[in-house]
Amino acid sequence: MEMVAAPAGSGAPREEEGPGGEAAAALPQAPTSGPGARLSRLPLARVKALVKADPDVMLAEQEAIFILEQAAELFVETIARDAYCCAQQGKRKTLQRRDLDDAIEAVDEFAFLEGTLD
């Protein structure tokens, strides 16, 4: 099976061959069906305001803001999932502050957050 990749920077998702030979999109596809469907779940205006708050940033293209929003969304999903696992270990369904603290301590990628929730 021959796969054709989109040129870099074309905006089209690259296809890769997944297990079993089926093609899988490299980027997650946002649901676009239905009225009012959004590509992002975080408010882009808030992300843009945070980016502009950095004195080193002069200009930020809308595409860059969107990518930062997507990264923030993935980060929140990841830390929430890990914190929920910590809550489940405590036989709870409700996240508590200590679950976030436990997730930060348990996952090396979250080491930069240590001490920020104090």
Q: Where do the domains of the chain lie?
A: 38-113
Structure tokens at 96: 């508590």
Other Cβ atoms within 10 Å of 115 Cβ, number:
7
In CATH terms, 38-113 corresponds, of 3.40.50.150, 1.20.120.80, 3.40.630.30, 1.10.20.10, to 1.10.20.10
| Verdict on whether the full-model pTM lies above 0.85 | no
Q: Distances from the Cα of 90 to the Cαs of 56, 104, 113, 117, in angstroms?
A: 43, 16, 22, 20
pLDDT at 26: 44
Q: Distances from the Cα of 11 to the Cαs of 26, 27, 35, 47, 74, in angstroms?
A: 12, 11, 24, 21, 20
Could you report the average pLDDT of every consecutive run of 10 residues in the chain (118 residues)?
A: 44 43 44 59 92 93 94 94 95 94 92 84
Q: Would you mind telling me the total number of residues written for the chain in this entry? A: 118
